[in-house]
Amino acid sequence: MRHTLAALGLLVMVAGVQPASGQTVSLAGHWKLNTAESDNPQEKLDAVTSAAPTVNTGYASRPQRVGAGRISGEQRGEGRSGPRSLPRADFGRIMRPAALITIEQNDTVLTIRDDQGVPQVLYLDGRKFEEPVGGAEPKQTTAKWKDGKLTVERKLGGIGSIREVLTLDPEKRRLVIEAKLTSPDIGKTVEIKRVYDAGS
């Protein structure tokens, strides 16, 4: 009787693990950027930064300090409409998306390759993966499946964070990547959508 109960308990434990793996979707393949369906990253960034508050007092339209000690129109040498770019390669990959990407995937790892640099390796078991980046804080990346979507969180230390949700549209044979970028340089969240069509 004890052996039977133990066996049933083991089956329940195994069954409890199944839904998580059952949510996994294969994103593997070659994908080509659909620029018509994707957001223009620079336009999205400009829309957020141009709405940033500016304070001008006195005789001239001299830039004044706004927000957390920043100076309107003088953020890292950018123009008066706000920052024109975001730092580090992680932001650059979204601001200047690759025209072609290749995704390789197995039960535990997903790798995204393009012609812009080092491949992105994502561990699909939800573990926190840390990479040294030369600063005081390492970059932390986690990837988790939920409801058939892969959510990737990147904490980039003092320069901000990136949250991406990868969704497969099997009917249109499209991969949709919705990104949310936060950075103290802009003080707001920028949302950018990239759409990739299945390639040959």
Beta carbons within 8 Å of 196's beta carbon, 6+ residues apart: 31, 32, 33, 34, 101, 174, 175, 176, 177
* pLDDT tens column, 10-23: 333 333 333 344 46
Tell me if 14 is assigned to some domain: no
Count Cβ atoms below 10 Å from residue 25 Cβ, excluding itself: 14
Question: What average pLDDT is seen over the chain?
Answer: 77
- 42 within domain boundaries: yes
Name the DSSP letter for residue 119.
Answer: P
The pLDDT-based confidence of 2 (bands split at 50, 70, 90) is: very low
Q: Encoding tokens for residue 68?
A: 């957390």
- Residue of higher predicted confidence among 85 and 82: 85
Is residue 16 assigned to a domain? no
> Can you give the CATH number for the domain in which 116 is found?
2.40.128.20
Segment 58-82 mean pLDDT: 39
Structural domain tally of the chain?
1
Model pLDDT for residues 93-108, shown as the tens digit of each residue = 999 999 999 999 999 9
Q: How far apart are CA 9 and CA 17, in angstroms?
A: 13
Q: What is the pLDDT of residue 85?
A: 54
The residue written with tokens 């969704």 in the block is 167
Crossing angle for the helix pair 88-95 and 41-50, nearest 10 degrees? 110
Residues spanned by the domain of 158:
27-51+66-198
Residue 80 is assigned to a structural domain of this protein: yes
Q: Is residue 109 part of a domain?
A: yes
CA neighbor of 191 nearest in space, from 182, 81, 149 = 182
In this prediction, residue 32 has a pLDDT band, given cuts at 50, 70 and 90, of very high
Give residue 24's pLDDT band: very low, low, confident or very high (50, 70, 90). Answer: confident
